[in-house]
């Protein structure tokens, strides 16, 4: 335990039985005190993992500040009561040996609560740190003092723009505000850096008219009085699953959403739990809410998708272009080549897809070219007539050189059939040469090229598995499925060629089969589109597939057998999972703040 600062009463050593200051409600005068006279305790924790329920605290660091001055610091290692994983040790530098003689959280927690009593807690990503502290209090039987809490990460997202900072990570903000301490995943250093970030943000808030704690918390919640006054829009809405549509005074749709409880969800847009700034702007324009009650959540998801696709509301970011797809096309020529297109045409060509993006299509095309020597040029080729001299790709064995008439149409057609066969049934025709090339590159320690090859194989596996799964599903003329509704009844759905055409619920005690028969008789009629994305959008078909794969779902009837190729790409999911694990192992900090390679010396302030 380290207790420093001019006032020795700001913290207490872990000896004896520390006195915990009782929790108290701040008075109105205190709440309206200006920020410059508010006492903040900036806290940071290091832990053995990310779950407050199952992981433990390994270090606590806190800095008490008021009026821009540090008046005390609190820091201690904590014995977590178990081993620290190697990943956490690499991330924080805290080892089992370092915490072996450290006090336990049972003895540290009362001292910290006394140190922080009567102040405002500040943390970067506050739900994480405060969640661990609350969990520790609950386990040890301490009443949690309901501190006012300020989250500097949330505050930064409200104050700063992407033109100023690319993200709101602590390391990024510390650099932006020129903090005197560099964050290094140690609790006290990160708390000191957060102090400088807090002061920088408060300086920004002053120009926005935020000068007191209530104004600061209201600014963070982003819920204006105008938003609260519109709570009447939720009045009378049913407490049932369905889709809601916000619209402006002219009836123009602004936002489409879905919920299992329409009344509860719409009401949330007018209270502090709604923190998205775009939603606050949308509520300011909204004048009406229209709802569509659905039988169950699956129907609600599908209706939401269809409404977003058709209405394209300005405040919906996803699914606006769910009807747009990317395809990889084998052109209809004597010597076909691969081409990336957006539309299916009745031109005699063969199409593979749908694919998620142009980038995925490019990676898939490159993987196929690595496995099969198809031509990559755009020349119009005629058998028996050379167009030009072979290119470099022919010289290194990456192309059969049909431009120089070095390959017959029949031999080239065999290469094309290998590609089509992999698309539709046995993916090993493409995977085998790629995996052999991967082994060769790894054996020669050409690891960057091997990583690129591994990513191309993964893209090929994912693309083929998705296409084969969608193709098998959308070829079924009619499929009826049921899933328990959690209340003793059944959620029913009728699907045709990958499109939801009917839905209902058989309540508890009601025989489901008569409802199924009625549902099938009145379901929407659709024609066979011939493949994924032609009768329903690909996104809708994937929603149905996810629902069908959930535990408890049962198939009632189907007009065709539902199967996937025995040697298809789905059988390589275990290899794909191992590949993803290898990628994460190679870069364990890919989704975290990176440790600094070098940093300037930390200036210790206020240490006795």
Q: Any alpha helices (H) in 496-567, and if so which ranges?
A: 512-522, 538-549
The answer to whether 535 touches 306, Cβ cutoff 8 Å, is no
CA–CA distance, 263 with 234 (Å, rounded to integer): 6
Q: What backbone phi and psi angles, to 5 degrees, belong to 588?
A: -65, -15
511 CB contacts (<8 Å, ≥6 apart)?
none
599 catalytic residue (yes or no) = no
Tokens 């009745």 belong to residue:
346
Reading phi first (left if > 0) and then psi (alpha if -120 to 50, else beta), residue 118 is in left
CA–CA distance, 324 with 218 (Å, rounded to integer): 41
Helix (H, G, I), strand (E, B) or coil at 603: coil
CA–CA distance, 82 with 92 (Å, rounded to integer): 16
Exposed (0-12), middle (13-18) or buried (19+): which is 569, by Cβ within 10 Å?
Answer: buried
Tokens 């008569």 belong to residue:
514
The answer to whether 569 touches 465, Cβ cutoff 8 Å, is yes
The answer to whether 325 touches 309, Cβ cutoff 8 Å, is no
The answer to whether 260 touches 297, Cβ cutoff 8 Å, is yes
Q: Which residues are paired to 557 by β-bridges?
A: 480
Catalytic residue among 124, 185, 296, 497: 185
- For residue 545, what are its two tokens? 């597939």
The answer to whether 202 touches 211, Cβ cutoff 8 Å, is no
β-strands 490-496, 479-484: how paired? antiparallel
195 CB contacts (<8 Å, ≥6 apart)?
42, 63, 65, 70
Instruction: Reply yes or no: is the peptide bond before residue 154 cis, omega within 30 of 0.
Output: no
CA–CA distance, 357 with 422 (Å, rounded to integer): 20
Strand order in the sheet with 69-77: 2-4, 69-77, 57-66, 39-47, 120-123, 149-151
Helix (H, G, I), strand (E, B) or coil at 318: coil
β-strands 242-247, 288-293: how paired? antiparallel
The answer to whether 592 touches 474, Cβ cutoff 8 Å, is no
Q: Among all residues, which ones are annotated catalytic?
A: 185
């Amino acid at each position: 335990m380290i207790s420093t600062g001019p006032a020795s009463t700001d913290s207490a050593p872990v000896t004896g039985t520390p006195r915990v200051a009782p929790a108290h409600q701040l008075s109105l005068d205190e709440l309206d005190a200006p920020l410059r006279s508010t006492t903040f305790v900036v806290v940071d924790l290091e832990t053995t993992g990310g779950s407050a329920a199952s992981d433990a605290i390994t270090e606590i660091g806190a800095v008490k500040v008021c009026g821009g001055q540090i008046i005390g610091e609190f820091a201690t290692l904590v014995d977590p009561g178990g081993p620290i994983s190697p990943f956490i040790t690499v991330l924080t530098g805290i080892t089992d040996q370092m915490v072996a003689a450290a006090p336990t959280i049972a003895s540290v927690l009362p001292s910290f609560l006394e140190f922080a009593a009567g102040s405002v807690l500040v943390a970067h990503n506050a739900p994480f740190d405060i969640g661990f502290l609350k969990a520790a209090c609950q386990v040890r039987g301490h009443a949690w003092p309901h501190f006012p809490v300020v989250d500097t990460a949330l505050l930064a997202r409200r104050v700063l723009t992407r033109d100023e900072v690319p993200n709101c990570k602590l390391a990024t903000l510390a650099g932006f505000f020129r903090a005197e301490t560099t964050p290094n995943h140690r609790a006290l250093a990160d708390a000191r850096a957060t102090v400088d970030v807090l002061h920088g943000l408060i300086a920004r808030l002053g120009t926005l008219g935020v000068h007191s704690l209530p104004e600061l918390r209201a600014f963070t919640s982003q819920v204006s009085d105008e938003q609260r006054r519109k709570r009447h829009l939720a009045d009378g809405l049913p407490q049932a699953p369905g889709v809601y549509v916000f619209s402006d005074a002219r009836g123009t749709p602004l936002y489409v959403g879905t919920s299992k409880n329409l009344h509860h969800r719409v009401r949330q847009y007018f209270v502090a739990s709604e923190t998205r700034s775009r939603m606050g702007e949308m509520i300011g324009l909204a004048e009406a809410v229209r709802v569509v009650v659905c039988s169950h959540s699956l129907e609600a998801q599908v209706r939401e998708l269809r409404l977003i696709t058709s209405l394209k509301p300005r405040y919906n970011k996803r699914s606006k272009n769910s009807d747009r797809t990317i395809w990889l096309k084998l052109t209809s020529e004597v010597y076909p080549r691969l081409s990336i297109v957006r539309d299916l045409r009745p031109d005699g060509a063969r199409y593979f897809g749908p694919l998620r993006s142009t980038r995925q299509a490019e990676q898939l095309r490159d993987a196929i070219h690595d496995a099969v020597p198809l031509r990559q040029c755009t020349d119009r080729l005629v058998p028996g007539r050379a167009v030009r001299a072979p290119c470099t790709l022919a010289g290194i064995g990456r192309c059969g050189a049909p431009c120089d008439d070095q390959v017959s149409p029949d031999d080239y057609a065999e290469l094309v059939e290998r590609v089509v066969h992999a698309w539709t049934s046995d993916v090993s025709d493409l995977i085998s040469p790629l995996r052999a090339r991967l082994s060769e590159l790894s054996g020669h320690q050409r690891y960057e090229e091997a990583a690129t090859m591994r990513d191309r194989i993964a893209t090929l596996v994912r693309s083929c598995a998705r296409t084969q799964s969608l193709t098998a599903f959308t070829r079924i003329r009619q499929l009826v499925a049921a899933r328990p509704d959690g209340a003793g009844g059944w959620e029913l759905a009728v699907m045709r060629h990958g499109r939801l055409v009917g839905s209902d619920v058989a309540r508890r005690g009601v025989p489901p089969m008569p409802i199924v028969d009625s549902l099938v008789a009145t379901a929407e009629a659709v024609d066979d589109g011939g493949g994924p994305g032609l009768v329903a959008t690909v996104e809708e078909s994937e929603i149905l597939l996810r629902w069908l794969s959930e535990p408890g779902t049962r198939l009632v009837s189907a007009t065709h057998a539902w199967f996937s190729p025995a040697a298809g790409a789905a059988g390589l999911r275990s290899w794909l999972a191992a590949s993803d694990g290898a990628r994460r192992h190679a870069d364990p900090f890919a989704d975290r703040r990176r440790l600094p390679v070098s940093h300037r010396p930390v200036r210790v302030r206020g240490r006795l």
